[in-house]
Homo-oligomer: A and B are copies of this chain.
Amino acid sequence: MTTVIEMLERYPRSLGIDTQLLAKTLDALSDCASTCVLCADACLAEDDLAGLVKCVNLNLDCADVCSATSRVLSRRTEHDPNVARPVLTACIAVCKSCADECGRHAPHMPHCATCAESCRACEQACRELLDATS
């Protein structure tokens, strides 16, 4: 359990969004970003590295986009939905692509199975938040 929910509850103004939903999304983004960095590294430690290059690069893309998305969504003061919405849309796309690729390796690579689940959870959380802000 992270301190994100406590921080959101202590924000001095109205958040302009459901607090639980935002906290859940921020936690999913952090988890996905961390997991993707670890999955890229685990792939680099595999014997069959040549077949995992696409997975490494999608993991790195997903980590970078989730980190940026988390920061944009965290900034509530003068929050601009015209920025947040396309950023969420991009994040959903990269989480989906990364989950698909990790999913292909999941049957024989346990780290890809865990990472695929984390990417799917993040994709789903971002979709719910996007629906709530449209």
Contacts and interface: CB of A to CB of B under 8 A. Distances in A.
Which range holds the interface residue count of chain A?
Answer: 35 or more
Interface of A: 1-4, 6-8, 10-13, 26, 30-31, 33-35, 37-39, 41-42, 44-46, 49-50, 53-54, 56-58, 60-61, 63-65, 67-68, 70-72, 74-80, 82-83, 86-87, 89-90, 92-94, 97, 110-111, 114-115, 117-118
When all copies of this chain in the complex are counted, the total is: 4
A38 B8 contact: yes
Contact of A35 (B3, B54, B82): B3
A35 B4 contact: yes
B89 A77 contact: no
A35 to B, nearest CB: 5
